[in-house]
Every structure is written in C-alpha cells, then in structure tokens.
Structure 1
C-alpha cells in the first residue's frame, strides 16, 4: 500500500468531522461568535486589543516550523495591502517553542513578506480555542471575522481571493457557507471511510502476480456511490475506481480519469491540501504504471495528473520530483520531446532547492541524457 495514500486515509479519519450522528461536531464553526484574541506580545505593527464589531478581520495562524505558513506569507501581505482600508489582517504565532527574541528576529527578517501586524499567542489559547476547536488542527489556517463579530469563513489563505471580496461587499452568505462546509465535512469523512473499506480489494505488491479483486472492488464502489452519489469522484473512491479499471478495462479507466480530474468534490481543510483526484491518478500510475500493459493515453493522463498537482501547488518544494515523474509518464507514452522538456524543468527546480546534492543532480541529468540519446 502506498505510504502517502495510507497517510491520507489516516489523517482524514483523524481530523475530519461531519454532521453525521457518529462524528464529532466542531466547537468552532462558520457562523459562530468569534472567540476573543489573547496574545502575549506584539512583534510587529499596530496592536489590536480586541475584535470590534463593525470591522472585518483576517487572523492568520502560523508557526516558524510551518513551511506552508512561510510560503503563504507574501500572499497574505499582498491582500493586506489590497484591503488596507477595509480589513485588518493579523498574524498570530501559535504552537511555537521559540523565545520571543528569536520570533521577533524571524519576523523582522521576513520584511515585506510579512507586511501585517504580528503577535504571539498567550499560553495556548489561540491554538486550543481557535485552531483546535475546528477539529482541523493543521496550520496555516486563517479565520475571517465579519462585522457582526462572527466567523464568516476559515481555511487556507490561498483561497481568500474569491471569498474576501464577498465578505467585504456584504454579499457573503454565512449560512450557505456553513451548509457547504458541513456537507464537505460529511463527504470527506465518507470518502475516507470508503477508501479504508476498499483496501480489502487491493492487491498485495509483496506477492508477485497478485492483482487483488478489482471486479469485486468495482461492485463495492457502485454500492457506495449509490448510497452517496457525491462520492463518485472523491479522492479515495477515485483512487480505487481508477486502479480497478486499470486492471479490468483501461479504456474505461482513461474515460473515468479524464472526468475525475476536472470534477470538483469537496473543500480541503489543511495545507498542503491532501492531494485531490490528480493525486489519486498519480498514486495508481506510480505503483502500477510499470507493471501493467497500458495504452499510451493512460500514461499521458498520468502526465496530466502531475501537471494538475503542479498547477495546484506552484510553491511546492518537491516540484523537481513531480516534473521527473511527469517526464517518466511522457516517456512511457512515447512522447520523447515532452519527456525531455519535463525532465529539464525537473532539473531547473532541483537546482533551486536549498540542499541539492551532486549525486541527485547527476542522477537527474543522467536521466535527461537517456531521454535525449534514445
């Protein structure tokens, strides 16, 4: 079983909540009155003593150890400048063990990349009463508090571009947002459960020749989707559907994958978001693309899945790996020129990583020469 996919299932089961009867309801949700701010010290900008009604706030929770938090700071700073007269942005450091002096130095070194007021939480209040109360404990996470003092939305700040204008213009429907969030939680939970149940039909890669029970898996998936149609293209179900079709009818796998990769399912609540359907296609191709005899269209679909992931996470620190795997897909499809281009991109991004070794660079360049020479 792919370790990444196992992690997806375990994390989803651990952090997701639902409106279903047997799933815990979050203590803090969209539409609830925002808890008070409790900070120990302000590191930058004008202090905000309390959340006032009549004002809109964006509260970004972060930590120095959180790479995704740091990657998102320039975007939050850009929004701060764009909405300077309409929204108050605050960054609050949580769950960080560094002394105040080190935190202050870190913030100062960020400069304009952190162009908003920054504070350190008091005790663990912001971590427990804000972050953990949503039942989604990962960061970064931003909360938008509307003029009524209620949580209008929370999630990844990368999604604010489409949400914040509506909140500022007072066209944001809080109740609709709450209903969607609850529905998304339920679907995500059911998707995770389905993925766990479908493991029983997957092959054991430690046993050569074991193909699992793909026909039985497809029957089980049909029953799952009949009970909840929204699960047809969700990541866990998509993984098992695509994988089972690869083994039984690659043409149908291709047709399903093409639709799945462009079909929205549910909103994710962590950063980086658990890989969506593009990731499901990736995992299946990564594990079985070299053991099954597949039509070239399937390998091109695999390359498209990697591109989807790259487009979704352009600031990812593993773009070099994504591009290299994309190159492999193109090569298996017989698209030599595209394979070379993808491998060249892989090398470009590898050179930008902080700790690139000579061995890794040599291996990437060797692969490129193989593509060019064959």
Structure 2
C-alpha cells in the first residue's frame, strides 16, 4: 500500500517531472520491502507494492519511516552481541524480549522449527492489514512454524490496541492468532532491522530449522518462500544470490537517484543498461526502467516496457498491483486496459481477498469510466480491508460521485421532461388552433353555400 487527499481526477503529478522524480526515488528506496513513515513524518509518495491515495497524509494508515534508534539507548541493551550486518544465509541473532504480550514465550535458540520474526507497530496501517493473513498462515503451518510479532511500543499501547475494535464486532485480540512481543530496549530492531538495512515495517525474517535466516521481506510476499522452507524445497543459495542482487539494486537506486535529481534521463537509462549487462535482468530492474521512461516522457518506450513487466510479473501479485496502480493513476491513459489486466490478475492470485489490491482493481475501473464496476470492487475491498480507512473513504468517494451523477441525471431528465411537456403543450395549442381555423373555414364555406343557395332560390322565383 503514498497517501494524499481524496480526489477522483487524475493526479497533478502526471505533468510534473520533479514530483515524478521524487516518487521514483521513493519507489527505489522501498523496492525490497514496504517503506513506511512514522506518524510524525508522513510523506506523499508511492507505497509499493500497492499504492493508495484515499486519506490525508497524517492518517494512521499512511505510509511512514520507522524512527531511527538512538545510540544513547545502546547502554541499556541486553548483554548480547549485536551483528554489524545481517543478510540471508547468516545465523539468526536470536531474541531479546521485554514482555510476551500474546502467546507462550519462545525459548532460544531459534532452531528445530521454522520461526518468523515480524516487526510491526500499532499505528501502521499495512501492519494491521496483514495481521489476518499472518494468523491464517500460523494456523496453516501450526505444526512447523512459529510467528512472532515484535514491536518497540510499550505494553499499555499494545494492550490498548488489542482491545480496540478491528472489524465488525471483533477486536484485534480476537483476530490475531500468533505471538506478540515487546522489544527489549530496541535490541531486536538493532539486531534485525538495522543490521539488515531495513527501514520500513512491516518486515519479516524467516529463520530456518537450523537457525539460519532464509528470507527477509514484506510479509505480504511471504507465502511462497515460507511454504518451500517448510517442505524442504527452498534453494538457500539462490536466495542468498537474490538477496545480494537486491543489495546491488539498492546501490543502483542511489546512483540513478542522483541522475534523476539532475533530470539526466539518458544517463539514468544508460546506468540501468550497464547494470543489466553486468548482473542480468530482473523484475525490479525492469520496473525501474518503466519509471525512468515515464518520467522522461518517452511514452512509447514506457508502454512497451510496461507490457513486458506485466508478463514478467504475471505470478507476482504485489508487483502487478503496483504496476496497475501507477499505470492507472500516473501512467499513459492509453495503457488503462493493461492496468486493468494487471489488477485483475493480481486480485485473482490473492483469491479476490486482498483489500488493497481490490482497491487498485476498483481504481482501474474508475479511470476507465466504469463507476458501477469500481463501486462493486471497492465494496469487496472494504470487506477485506480490516478497517483501513483510506479504502473506506475511497468507497464513499465513489458512492458520492454516483449520487451526484444520478442527481445530475435526474435534473437533466426533469429538464427534458419539462421541455417535452412544453413541446407537447405547444403542439396541442397549434393543433387546437388549426382545428379552430378549420372550423371557421368550414363555417365560412357553409355560409357561402347557404348564400349561394338563397340567391339561386330568388332567381328561380323571379
């Protein structure tokens, strides 16, 4: 799931290269996961993999950066070694938990079972949105996997959140079916998030049965790797190579970012070409290329690259959702059918149960002028949104627009009816006038005939 005011016209940023550049830089920064911003530092940028523009930026559901950990707190850390760096293939740092808020404590070391350590916060909309799915995964893999949700917030805040209404009559405590724990003086954030260079939540770390970190990423894309890790078909070496490529892509994003700030589009594209020759192609790299081409105004090339990206990402629901959103809201309007195709596939991959992706599908229909279809899928999005306010606000916007349109149609029909009624009355008056003239003419002819008859009778008598 950037956030901006609710509007149902195409964004102004379509015509502003500088804003496009900012958006691309934001996208580069979060391509390895879901970038969040804190409530105090919310910004208006993209929110990969699925982007929304339904609520103001100060919403609890808006994307935000995780506040950095103060160095002053390190003196209060548990007496456990902190890794300088953490990557896929490294040994797990373990646990340092101040309080287990929900579920039984987990003993170290993290071995023999698969463990998922997920970092979250009560104020994080995407974190809340993913909780039902994590609960489903915990239930599905109950015999093999232990999920641990870790937050740096205090116990009172977490307990208050659990008591809050989530959806319908259920509280968050009713919905969440896995362990929740509070970080001990930020040790977990330092050992996992900071060491792995992860700046956003939600972020999950899968630790295999032998205590090695197997995967790092957004929990929305955890299903496939988790299944393979559990059933023993996971290719760790390939995962390590992919993670290293992601690190290289982060370096690439910094280099390309400088060129974009200078609006040197040709140099940015050339740097992407060089990277592809050196490290090979990938979905992320092609995604970067699409964005640079869009910013550069090369719509023809961007359309070709975008179509290729959709084909390459055909089984990646999150990336397809991102492509659909950015194409529908900021891309070439001629590619709206492609955006719809991508959104439909993304929703299909999520069994039409992912609120943000359904929201994207609805937006595609909206941009195509199919408001009824947009409302249909937005209703479904709300049903699966777990209380995300921007999705509910979007539905209200669509319904308000439909009501206004119906009101306008009603007023137009009323005017048409009045015009038709006036026209009918005018025709009726003309018909009456014609009948009256016809009657007068008939009377005149009758009088003329009588006069002629009288004259003829007088002649006969004479």
Same fold judged by TM-score > 0.5?
A: yes
Counterpart of 2:28? 12
Counterpart of 2:87? 29
Alignment of 1:93 with 2:184, yes or no, is no
Cα gap change, 1:264 to 1:2, in 2 (>3 Å)? farther
With normalisation by structure 1, the TM-score equals 0.70
**Partners of 2:135 and 2:31 in 1: CA distance:** 29
Alignment of 1:327 with 2:366, yes or no, is yes
* 5+ long unaligned stretches in structure 2: 1-16, 34-82, 164-170, 414-462
Alignment of 1:263 with 2:316, yes or no, is no
Q: Is residue 238–residue 280 contact of structure 1 (8 Å, CA) maintained in 2?
A: no
**Partners of 2:137 and 2:130 in 1: CA distance:** 11
Of 133, 141, 159, 1:83 maps to 141
**Which piece of structure 1 moves more, 174-183 or 350-359?**
350-359
Counterpart of 1:366? 404
Q: What secondary structure does 2:252 align onto?
A: helix
- State the Cα distance separating 1:156 from its structure 2 match: 1.9
Counterpart of 2:217? 155
Q: What secondary structure does 1:316 align onto?
A: helix
Q: Is residue 44–residue 117 contact of structure 1 (8 Å, CA) maintained in 2?
A: yes
- State the Cα distance separating 1:127 from its structure 2 match: 1.3
**Within 5 A, what are the aligned runs for 1:54-203?**
54-94=112-152, 96=153, 98=154, 100-107=155-162, 109-191=171-253, 193-194=255-256, 196-198=258-260, 200-201=262-263
Q: What secondary structure does 1:134 align onto?
A: coil
**Partners of 2:388 and 2:106 in 1: CA distance:** 37
Q: What secondary structure does 2:98 align onto?
A: strand
**Within 5 A, what are the aligned runs for 1:269-280?**
276-280=322-326
Alignment of 1:342 with 2:394, yes or no, is no
Counterpart of 1:223? 270
**Partners of 2:227 and 2:111 in 1: CA distance:** 18
- State the Cα distance separating 1:34 from its structure 2 match: 0.8
- State the Cα distance separating 1:162 from its structure 2 match: 0.9
Cα gap change, 1:132 to 1:371, in 2 (>3 Å)? farther
- State the Cα distance separating 1:364 from its structure 2 match: 5.0
Residues 91-132 of structure 1, C-alpha deviation per residue, up to 9 Å, x if partnerless?
2222x2x4x233124235313421112211111111111112
Q: Is residue 317–residue 353 contact of structure 1 (8 Å, CA) maintained in 2?
A: no
Of 271, 280, 290, 1:238 maps to 290
**Partners of 1:371 and 1:310 in 2: CA distance:** 33
Counterpart of 1:315? 355
Cα gap change, 1:298 to 1:114, in 2 (>3 Å)? closer
Q: What secondary structure does 1:234 align onto?
A: helix
Cα gap change, 1:256 to 1:158, in 2 (>3 Å)? closer
**Partners of 2:408 and 2:323 in 1: CA distance:** 31
- State the Cα distance separating 1:151 from its structure 2 match: 0.7
Larger radius of gyration: 2
**Partners of 1:37 and 1:282 in 2: CA distance:** 43
Residues 199-246 of structure 1, C-alpha deviation per residue, up to 9 Å, x if partnerless?
6558xxxxxxxxxxxxxx5x5566344313327963332023246565
**Partners of 1:299 and 1:82 in 2: CA distance:** 37
Cα gap change, 1:264 to 1:240, in 2 (>3 Å)? same
Count residues in correspondence.
Answer: 325
* 5+ long unaligned stretches in structure 1: 18-24, 203-216, 290-296, 332-337
**Partners of 1:350 and 1:170 in 2: CA distance:** 37
